[in-house]
Structures are given as structure tokens and as C-alpha cells.
């Protein structure tokens, strides 16, 4: 193994060099730490494997850089890069990949879950892991990591990337199938991206258009969003923001959020079946001082709604101002919706 270091002059400096190597083919990723005293500042490294594979590495750098010395370097060599996890390997996000034989690509087969971090702390992690393992079980995807191990990897990723406010997605695929149809050993992917909740969206609200559709395996959080993406042109043509599914006259859900309405008795109703049970929804149902009921909600019911809102990890609580062109209430955030919004925000950020 040959390591080539391109260096630049400077004062004597002790540098902790963390070399992280991309996961290559069937080889395990290589991690090596080098402690060295050097009279030059190390800026870039390239490592050549005996296999002939050339891999760019980035270094954790200490000390000030001279702009004149580094002006020829590309941005990705200077800026810190974030990591993802593939199975048990940490890889640079822009180099993370799986093979095209994976069933997630060949057949759209896989499950995932998504949660936020606020100040580097996961929000409702246990709830999300409960649903993730439930989804994996229902899709007959064998986990090669247990709950404790996944939590350890999540916390390591948070520490390594240091993205204070973010979204983390855990995906489990159908694996590398020999015939493109049969289940194989799943691949586990954990990715993290910056995400900051936009408080302005609450007062802007949302417009929904109803559509007759029932998702397959509705209680499972799969990677299948075929209908939701297919309907994007239709949603825009109706001057709406999202679609509200219904089936056999019963309201179910939006593609990425749960639906609630407030009736004339100030009862808060949410569909009880044929839905994905969201984590924000679950926590709203747990509020003891709210009159929330899981029940059948019909197309007729929403026409007389005083208030309506949707809930999700990324939206928290978002008022619905219009459904199928009909204004809900006075077209502004309702009293009950506003109260629930404050309660959810406090719970997540507290």
C-alpha cells in the first residue's frame, strides 16, 4: 500500500490525520489513523490500493490555511464532507452507492423511516425505530443489525457529521437479488441531511385535492411513492399543494402526512384504518387534555369541518385552508389547530 502526501510549507505542526477510505466493491472500508509530527501542513492525500483502485481521501485539518497555497484545490478538497452508512461502513455521502441489482432499484422493494435531529438530538427515535422494525418485519426483510446496534450507528453518524438540525433516513432494501425478483440479504442505508423546520409555513397553510386511491400495505412505510409522484401534475393543475386519499368514501391520508379535522362539536377526528400511523399523529393522540378520536372520517364529514390540519415529521402541524376548492373555516389557522401546533413544537424542541 503506497500513501502519497501532497504538502505545503508552514510552521511545525502536529496533525491528527484521519484517513477514511471509500467502500469498494466487496472489500470492507478501511479506516486508519496516523499521528505525526511534520514541519509542513498536509492538505491532501491519495491512497493507492494494491488492487490499483485510486481513492481520494480528505483529512481533518488543524491550523490556518494560506489561501495562496490552496487556491488550486477543488471545493470538495477544502470543505468538510458528510458521511452516510452502508450496512456497517461509513462512506462519504457523495460516494455512497449500492449495486443496480438491488431490489429497491429493480422492483422498488424496501422500507424506510425518517426522523429529525434538533441540536444534535434525535426526536422520537424510539418511536421511529419501532415503526422501522415493524415495517421490515411486514416486508419480510431480515435485519442483520439489532436495535441497539442501529442506535449506536445513528449516534456515531450524528457525531461524525455534526449537523445540528437535520433529517436522518434509515432505509432497508430488498438486497442484491440474483433474478431481480427474489428477496436477498437486505442492504441498510443511513443518511443525514441538513433540515431546519420552516415556521413560516404554518400561517400559509395548505390546499388539498381529494383522490380515490388506497396504498398497498398502508401500515408499512415502504419506499413506494408511485401514485404520489404520478399525481404531481394533477395536483398542480388543480391549484393544490397535495393530495388527500380516500377509498370507498372514507378519508385515509396524504402521501406523506396524516389528516385531522375538527367537527362542529370541537371533536378532533383522525382516520383510524388503512393508513400509515405517523409518529407526530401518535404523540397528538397521547395528549390527555385533547378530545381526539380515531374513527371513520368520510368525504361528507370533511365538507362540514370547522378546522383541518395534516401532521408529519417535517411539517409538525400544518393547517388545511381548502379541500377540493372549498374553504375550511375562515381560511386561517383555527384555534384548536394553533393550540396543537404549539404543543407539538414544544414537545419536539423541549
- Max Cα distance, the chain (Å): 77
Task: Determine the angle formed by the axes of helices 147-161 and 125-138, rounding to 10 degrees.
Answer: 130
Query: In the β-sheet with 31-48, what is the strand arrangement from edge to edge?
Result: 2-20, 31-48, 54-57
Could you report the per-residue pLDDT of 266-318, keeping only the tens digit for each?
A: 999 999 999 999 999 999 999 988 999 999 999 999 999 999 999 999 999 99
pLDDT tier for residue 67 given thresholds of 50, 70 and 90: very low
* pLDDT given at position 143: 87
More confident residue, 72 or 261: 261
pTM (2 d.p.): 0.78
N-to-C CA span, the chain: 50
Residue 209: which residues within 8 A CB-CB, separation 6 or more?
A: 234, 235, 238, 240, 242, 243, 244, 323, 324
Q: What confidence tens digit (pLDDT) does each residue in 142-175 have?
A: 988 999 999 999 999 999 999 999 999 999 999 9
User: What percent of the chain clears pLDDT 70, i.e. is strictly above it?
Assistant: 77
Query: Residue 26's pLDDT is what?
Result: 34
Per-residue model confidence as pLDDT tens digits over 221-261: 999 999 999 999 999 999 999 999 999 999 999 999 999 99
| pLDDT at residue 343 is higher than 50 | yes
The Cα 206–Cα 298 span in angstroms is 20
For residue 2, pLDDT beyond 60: no
Which structural domains are found in the chain, ordered by start?
A: 2-80 (no CATH), 103-194 (3.30.470.10), 201-349 (3.20.10.10)
Amino acid at each position: 500500500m503506497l500513501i502519497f502526501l501532497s504538502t505545503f510549507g508552514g510552521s511545525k505542526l502536529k496533525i491528527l490525520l484521519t484517513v477514511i477510505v471509500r467502500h469498494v466493491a466487496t472489500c470492507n472500508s478501511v479506516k486508519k489513523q496516523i499521528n505525526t509530527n511534520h514541519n509542513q501542513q498536509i492538505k491532501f492525500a491519495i491512497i493507492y490500493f494494491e488492487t490499483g483502485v485510486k481513492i481520494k481521501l480528505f483529512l481533518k485539518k488543524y491550523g490556518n490555511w494560506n489561501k495562496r497555497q490552496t487556491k488550486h484545490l477543488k471545493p470538495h478538497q477544502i470543505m468538510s464532507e458528510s458521511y452516510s452508512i452502508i450496512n456497517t461502513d461509513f462512506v462519504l455521502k457523495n460516494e455512497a452507492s449500492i449495486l443496480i441489482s438491488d431490489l429497491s432499484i429493480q422492483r422498488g422493494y424496501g422500507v424506510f423511516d425518517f426522523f429529525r435531529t434538533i441540536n444534535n438530538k434525535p426526536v422520537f427515535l424510539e418511536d421511529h425505530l419501532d415503526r422501522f422494525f415493524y415495517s421490515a418485519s411486514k416486508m419480510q426483510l431480515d435485519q442483520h443489525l439489532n436495535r441497539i446496534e442501529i442506535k449506536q450507528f445513528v449516534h456515531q453518524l450524528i457525531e461524525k457529521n455534526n449537523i445540528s438540525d437535520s433529517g436522518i433516513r434509515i432505509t432497508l432494501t430488498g438486497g442484491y437479488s440474483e433474478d431481480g425478483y427474489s428477496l436477498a440479504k437486505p442492504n441498510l442505508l443511513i443518511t443525514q441531511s441538513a433540515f431546519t423546520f420552516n415556521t413560516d409555513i404554518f400561517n400559509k397553510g395548505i390546499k388539498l385535492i381529494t383522490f380515490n386511491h388506497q396504498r398497498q400495505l398502508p401500515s408499512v412505510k415502504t419506499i413506494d411513492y408511485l401514485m404520489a409522484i404520478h399525481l404531481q401534475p394533477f395536483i398542480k393543475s388543480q391549484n393544490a399543494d397535495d393530495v388527500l386519499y380516500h377509498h370507498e368514501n372514507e378519508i385515509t391520508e396524504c402521501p406523506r402526512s396524516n389528516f385531522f379535522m375538527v367537527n362542529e362539536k370541537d371533536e378532533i377526528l383522525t382516520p383510524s384504518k388503512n393508513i400509515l400511523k405517523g409518529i407526530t399523529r401518535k404523540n397528538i393522540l397521547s395528549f390527555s387534555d385533547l378530545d381526539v378520536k380515531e374513527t371513520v372520517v368520510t368525504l361528507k364529514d370533511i365538507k362540514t369541518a370547522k378546522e383541518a390540519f395534516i401532521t408529519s415529521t417535517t411539517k409538525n402541524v400544518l393547517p388545511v385552508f381548502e379541500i377540493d376548492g372549498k374553504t375550511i373555516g375562515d381560511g386561517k389557522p383555527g384555534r384548536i389547530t394553533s393550540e396543537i401546533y404549539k404543543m407539538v413544537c414544544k414537545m419536539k424542541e423541549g
